[in-house]
Amino acid sequence: MIAANLSAIPAYEEWREAARNMLSIAAAPEDVVWRTQGASDLFACAPTPNLQPTKPLFVSRAFIDLARKAVLHTDPERFALLYRALWRLQRNRELCQDAADADIARLNAMAKAVRRDEHKMHAFVRFKEIETPDGPRFIAWFEPQFHIVDETADFFVRRFAGMRWSIITPEASLHWDGERLSRGPRGVRSDVPPDDARDADWRAYYESMFNPARLKVAAMTREMPKHYWKNLPEAQDISALIRAASSRADDMVAAEPTAPRKRAGAAHAKIAPEDLPERLTPVAEHANAPHSIEDLTRALKACRACPLWKDATQAVPGEGASDHPLLALVGEQPGDQEDLAGHPFIGPAGLVLDRTLEAAGIARREVFITNAVKHFKHEPRGKRRLHKRPDRSEVEMCRWWVKHELDLVQPRLVVALGVTALHSLSAHKGSLSAIRGEALETREGLAMRATIHPSALLRLPDEADKEAEFARFVQDLKDARAAALAG
């Protein structure tokens, strides 16, 4: 027997070096004991040799992809299993394509579980705001099932680049100061405050998305496994919602159809743009047209053309496919979470949009997503910041930015999400319902359609209305895609 010694939680690269050593001395899989630091040692072994490979090893791309994920599983047999697969790969280069092979099937199952845990961490980290001597910091507690903390770090840095944040887990912690990522020791649940003003938003979002008539508990717990519930503010309502589901569904069936709620009239300007004081002169007169989205994003950070920048954390630029995409989706303005993170449509309305895009068969990465107004307009309510619709002068002022974004991106079709985007992009000043789904044009002549803003679904109180409106929203996006493809 020969020992391959690893640290307690080895990364792929560490296992790879040890595996190379073993292969270089032709150590058969059954002769190798894989030991991690701190694990009990049942076998007497020769020490690990430290050798350089004498002949090139064959390692396929498929094996590397599989091993990178499987090594993050918690199954203690994973190192031996991976080594046996690598050993066999030297004689059978197509091994990874044989899904029926017992070793490959086990490794695939491990890799799949790890990817799923990563996906759940991306979706289920919930930050709480704390005050520190350096200003606000966002801190989250998360309990992954596997060793994925380092693997997910890049995702959080990209998504929350504009925030100072920490993610604490039972295995390690990640800290981002706006410029640098550092890794710290593990923490405990009590390192993170138990609740936060944003918890109410997550609970309201979940309740609004919970459809008692479509409740399938098994499917729901597959999407949101119970393992994660204890750290999700919205999960505290799940049991009560499930208990009430049957009577709520009966009520839905018994209820008379309800007329759609009348919307308030279109926002009217308190100040007409032409009456704006000089300090609010449209930014267009002061700025040169940007040559790229990157230029525009840089310039946007400095915009002070209207007062909205004062109470916002940052301007939120558009993002996504920026080279002649099929669609550009334009919403109203960033919300609370978008303001903190610096990315559009990542809060509750963003989740509704993701669901709708998925149902319409449109990948989010294939569209450009932005807002008509780039800073978050809000009013304080206790510890919460409540969305406030931008007025006409603010929309007009910010139009310069969205116009240039669309000029640079050149989508085949623009979709205005809600009346604010509609009024910003087009000459139409009436209601959204009058022209919803019709073929329109932006003021600059791009093909355009208009539909609801996804947050409208969050506000509908009636389940039947919500379901019908969701289906209509999906259809609007499908129609927009078809029109873009045909155009």
CB closer to ligand SF4 out of 208 and 424: 424
What is the spatial distance between Cα 102 and Cα 82, in angstroms, rounded to a whole number? 12
What is the spatial distance between Cα 138 and Cα 160, in angstroms, rounded to a whole number? 10
Letters for 255-294 (x = contact with ligand SF4 by CB under 6 A, - = none) are ----------------------------x-----------
Continuous segment of H or E residues that includes residue 146: none
The one among 95, 232, 238, 303 contacting ligand SF4 by CB under 6 A = 303
Shortest distance in whole angstroms from residue 104 CB to ligand SF4: 52
The one among 125, 140, 299, 306 contacting ligand SF4 by CB under 6 A = 306
Taking the CB of residue 148, how many other CB atoms lie within 10 A of it?
A: 22
Q: Does 308 participate in binding ligand SF4 (rule CB under 6 A)?
A: yes
The one among 309, 319, 355, 360 contacting ligand SF4 by CB under 6 A = 309
Q: Does 421 participate in binding ligand SF4 (rule CB under 6 A)?
A: no
Letters for 67-86 (x = contact with ligand SF4 by CB under 6 A, - = none) are --------------------
Q: Does 397 participate in binding ligand SF4 (rule CB under 6 A)?
A: yes
Bridge partners of 153?
none
Q: Judge whether 301 and 315 are in contact, CB under 8 Å.
A: yes
What is the spatial distance between Cα 143 and Cα 125, in angstroms, rounded to a whole number? 9
CB closer to ligand SF4 out of 12 and 309: 309
Beta strands in 17-168, from DSSP E residues, in sequence order: 32-36, 128-132, 135-141, 165-168
CB closer to ligand SF4 out of 318 and 348: 318
- Output the six-digit token pair for 425: 């992009």
Bridge partners of 367?
327
What is the spatial distance between Cα 113 and Cα 125, in angstroms, rounded to a whole number? 18
Letters for 363-382 (x = contact with ligand SF4 by CB under 6 A, - = none) are ----------xxx-------
What is the three-class DSSP state of 303? Answer: coil
CB closer to ligand SF4 out of 118 and 394: 394
How many residues touch ligand SF4 under the rule CB under 6 A: the total is 16
Residues 6+ apart with CB under 8 A from 215: 242, 245, 249
Q: Judge whether 140 and 192 are in contact, CB under 8 Å.
A: yes
CB closer to ligand SF4 out of 305 and 480: 305
Show contacts with ligand SF4 in window 14-33 (CB under 6 A). none
Residues at the contact surface with ligand SF4, assessed by CB under 6 A: 283, 300, 303-306, 308-309, 315, 373-375, 394, 397-398, 401
